[in-house]
Chains A and B, each alone.
Chain A
Amino acid sequence: MIDFIYTTGWGAFIVMLMFQIPFLIVFFSIVNKKAFVDSTPGKTEASKYSSTKWAWVGLTIIAFIVVNVASIQYMPTVIEAGTGNAKEVTVEARSWAFDISDTNLRVGEPVRFSATSADTMHSFAIIHPDGQQIFTMMLMPGLETANTLVHTFTEPGEYIVRCLEYCGIAHHTMKTTLTVASN
């Protein structure tokens, strides 16, 4: 479950809803009551406001700590630090093509992608055959070190490589594929 939350866009979408729906319910019920049902001043005691305030602030802090602490193990740099030997693949992006040192990869084998840009801003994004984005790396030209990320494919298939930073009038043609074979 936690893997799904942090490794897919839909996981992020669900967490977003978990914050938004309670907010919408509370906000609309209060506004509706005090605007259309009974707009006379509330008779709530001062101490009740104060305890609500602290409960609300406390809840926000706890929610954000939980969401962020749980995400640490999914940060790419943390994953990279925990990976031993990885297959090295270099990527050079230019307007409007990718030069990838090896496009045949294997399931279960960690791959370190080291990517650079030769001319303008590009990105190197890998898209799952189901259309979801696995990751993107923003590539700025003129940097001394390559942008790196380690990824281990878990499913075989044809993965799409795409540039996601707008890079000129043929930006959408900047696309290729990677083949991941089962082990």
Chain B
Amino acid sequence: MSVAHRIIENTPFFGSMFRLEDNELNPINAWPALMSMTCFIWFTIAVILGWTMPAIQFLDLGSNWYYQNITLHGAAMAFPFAFQLMVAMSIHRAGGCLGKRADGPLVALFYIFMNVGGLLLTLAVLAGFHVTYTVMFPLPVVGVQTGQWDMWVLILGFTGIALVLISMILLYPIQILKMAFFDEKDENLQLAERSLNDPGMMGMVMGVLVLLVVGTPLLMVAGSLLLHLYGILPASMIGWAAKPVVFEFVFYIFAHNLMEAMALMVIGAVYATLPLCLADGARKLYSDRIAQLALWILLVTSLTSFFHHFFTMYPALPSTFAYHGNFMSYATAMGAALTIFTILATIWKHGIVASPALMLMLGGFVMYILDGVSAIVISNVAWNFKLHGTVWAGGHAMVVLIAISAIWMGMLYYHYPLMTNRIINDNLARKCIKYFFLAYIGLFYTFMAAGAAGMPRRNGAWESDWFIWGALMLVFGAGLIYAFYLYFMSLTKSRALEF
């Protein structure tokens, strides 16, 4: 029994969702199952913290709690939950489709770096490191100078962030590239053969390349700062990295493209799974070529659309770059339009079997497109000045993560029988999808309307006008929590496959 397998066996409740059999498929099943289990532990905490944010305002518990929870909620949701779930699903898919092992030192290191990094950051936040999850440099340092948190807390928090970044920018991409191009194939592990030309696999490889390329400069900058904090590099050597403009630009080039890389992966996942759920058993997309074109458009246009994070910084961001960012953001919609066409044409041509896995993935895809529209609206320079800084922007960051996660959670339903030799509880899964989608729609339009009405994001002391939005957030948030409870139950109440 592998280490991953043993940890699952010994984890209460969450372990029961992912209990594995000891069989010859363990090299592709054990670590993805462990990562899925662990990410849902983070998810549970993050969801509760998210729901407490409006509750803190209603109960008037003070801004400190609010800023603590917003930091923990955002960080846990984005990294050890959403990203780790994506890694679990993609290495499982790469393993089963290419016939390569999804275990080994890099996978174990990823798991340790991501989760230990997440824990260290959590400890720092509990000790007062309230920076929100999009680090606004130089706030972490200014916070020490102004006595908001201690130096050791900053070092602890940055160490955690560094571990998480290394896991996302180096360990995971290198593992996927290794599996795709170098590792030896084991026929016994190949469950459904796919080549790298398959749009599903192509999205995955593009995604990891984006992470590696746009993430490395951030690692250099953040690494220099951290080595200085450890006392290894003198201040004279890291002055360049400590400039806010340097840090913020490398950070947003990465953070923006991190989301785009996750989008490429998730579109690839839909392209990979939809053909397997067709009513006529055709097992192919309407057109692989259009699917590939859509991925290429998304890749090329998303890389430089990050300028939209800086539209309101004229003239530090010259208007030519603002216009470029505006154009590129809208051009990503061309990729989305082709994706919508491919998916609908495939469904129309072949019919679909409405399994919970496919329905959750399609529901997630609809969420993703709805959010995408809100994103390109705010990526217009004129509207950006009206909406940047409101909960429209914060809501977008949040719902894009929910949408992407919904697609991965649907994919997990699909992979689940391969992984555990059990099938999910169909009834509970269908009920989960209904609540998930309706609560999402409610929450999504609440955030967008609140933003349009001018409610600021990340504000720890709400004014009376904003509580109406807060009440809706509580209601729809409770709906989402119920949907997630049903999701967990659909896994714990799974039954053994009979042959």
A→B interface (CB under 8 Å):
6-13, 15-16, 19-20, 23-24, 26-27, 30-31, 34-36, 38-42, 44, 49, 52-53, 56-57, 60-61, 64, 67-68, 71-72, 74-77, 95, 119-121, 123, 125, 127-128, 131-138, 140-143, 145, 147-149, 162, 164-173
B→A interface (CB under 8 Å):
63-64, 67, 130-132, 134, 136-139, 142-143, 146, 148, 243-245, 248, 279-280, 282, 286, 290, 310, 312-316, 319, 322, 326-327, 330, 333-334, 337-338, 340-341, 344-345, 347-354, 359, 362, 366, 369-370, 373-374, 377-378, 380-383, 385-390, 392, 448-449, 451-461, 465
A-B contact count (CB 8 A): 245
The residues of A that contact B136 with a CB separation of less than 8 Å are 120-121, 165-167
Residue pair A169, B385 in contact (C-beta under 8 Å): no
21 A-B residue pairings within 8 Å (CB atoms): A6-B382, A9-B452, A9-B453, A13-B449, A23-B369, A27-B344, A42-B349, A42-B351, A49-B286, A60-B333, A64-B334, A77-B322, A95-B146, A132-B452, A133-B387, A135-B312, A138-B388, A140-B316, A143-B316, A168-B146, A171-B67
The residues of A that contact B244 with a CB separation of less than 8 Å are 120-121, 140-142
Q: Shortest Cβ distance from B264 into chain A, in angstroms?
A: 19
- Known A-B contacts A9-B453, A35-B352, A39-B279; the reply to A76 vs B385 at CB < 8 A is yes
The residues of A that contact B63 with a CB separation of less than 8 Å are 169-172
**Quick one: which of B139, B386, B458, B461 contacts A135, CB cutoff 8 A?**
B386
Residue pair B448, A143 in contact (C-beta under 8 Å): no
- Known A-B contacts A36-B354, A136-B389, A140-B313; the reply to A169 vs B377 at CB < 8 A is no
- Known A-B contacts A75-B381, A145-B316, A164-B456; the reply to A34 vs B386 at CB < 8 A is no
Given contacts A8-B452, A71-B380, 15 further A-B contacts (CB under 8 A): A6-B383, A11-B383, A16-B448, A24-B366, A30-B344, A40-B351, A57-B341, A121-B138, A127-B454, A131-B454, A132-B452, A136-B312, A136-B388, A164-B388, A166-B139
Residue pair B340, A23 in contact (C-beta under 8 Å): yes
Alpha-carbon distance between A94 and B460 when the two chains are bound, in angstroms = 18
Alpha-carbon distance between A45 and B43 when the two chains are bound, in angstroms = 46
Residue pair A143, B312 in contact (C-beta under 8 Å): no
**Quick one: which of B290, B315, B392 contacts A145, CB cutoff 8 A?**
B315
Q: Shortest Cβ distance from B438 into chain A, in angstroms?
A: 13
The residues of A that contact B345 with a CB separation of less than 8 Å are 49, 52-53
- Known A-B contacts A9-B454, A120-B138, A131-B453; the reply to A34 vs B465 at CB < 8 A is no
**Quick one: which of A41, A49, A74, A131 contacts B382, CB cutoff 8 A?**
A74
Q: Shortest Cβ distance from A119 into chain B, in angstroms?
A: 5
The residues of B that contact A40 with a CB separation of less than 8 Å are 279-280, 351
Residue pair B245, A41 in contact (C-beta under 8 Å): no
The residues of B that contact A6 with a CB separation of less than 8 Å are 382-383
The residues of B that contact A8 with a CB separation of less than 8 Å are 386, 452
Alpha-carbon distance between A57 and B337 when the two chains are bound, in angstroms = 7
Residue pair B454, A128 in contact (C-beta under 8 Å): yes
Chain A residue, CB-CB nearest to B348: A42
Residue pair A142, B387 in contact (C-beta under 8 Å): no
Q: Shortest Cβ distance from A39 into chain B, in angstroms?
A: 3
Alpha-carbon distance between A11 and B387 when the two chains are bound, in angstroms = 11
Residue pair A164, B457 in contact (C-beta under 8 Å): yes
Alpha-carbon distance between A35 and B280 when the two chains are bound, in angstroms = 12
